Structure 1
Amino acid sequence: MHIFGEMTFVHVPHENKWKLDNRALKGNVVMNLANSKDWVFYIPVQKKFIFSEWAVFLGSSAISRILAPAKENMPSKGSLSFLLNSLTLGNFSSEKQVEAQDLEAHKPTNISTDPSYLAPRLY
């Protein structure tokens, strides 16, 4: 339940706003409609009431969550986030060794020094 007069940000649908208008308006809770999800909000800047079901309520619980220090939870060693955070990118220390092995593997072998192997076999 939310308190009368509580500060909220009410979502404004894109049909009701211009391109550069805010997506939310700062307002106060007036009441909850009994048979629907809608709330009634008073927007002081526009001096009018808005009916909406989309709002972010900035009650005391939300403020205490914002002001409370976040606890850092260390992920387990088997989790994906732990593995991604422990990767070291840009380590090319073994690249020269791998390049030398590639050159050695692609070196032509058993080629005679006689140039006749370059001549076509059929004339």
Structure 2
Amino acid sequence: MIGMLLLVSVIACGIGMIAVIFSSQTLPQQIPAVNLRFSSAENYLTIYHMGGDTIPEGKYLVRINNKDISSGQLIKSPTSSGNWAPGETVTIAQPGLSPSSYIQVIYLNGDTQQVLATNSTA
């Protein structure tokens, strides 16, 4: 009788551990912490990376008034390619910028997108 009770207990614990393993969620990936500053003049938007984490190349996009800006329209300086590091800028020629333009910098994390910074051109 005691043997059967121990066997049932061990099986129940084993099933419980397997259930926990399969139902557990993976750890979320780290989102870069950045300090970005937005500036506009005429039809140009410049985003300054003032500090924080480096953003890997191809892992971010800029959205203006809910419209994604293609990477071909982004001019990064002082280097034109590679990661976006503190001290560097991204400039976009965008006709129709106004003080009410809604700007977002989005981090691309696999199938998900996270807003890193948002601002208006005011």
Q: Higher helix share goes to which structure? A: 1
TM-score normalized with structure 2 length: 0.21
TM-score normalized with structure 1 length: 0.21
Q: Higher strand share goes to which structure? A: 2
Structure with larger RCO (C-alpha < 8 A, sep 6+) = 2
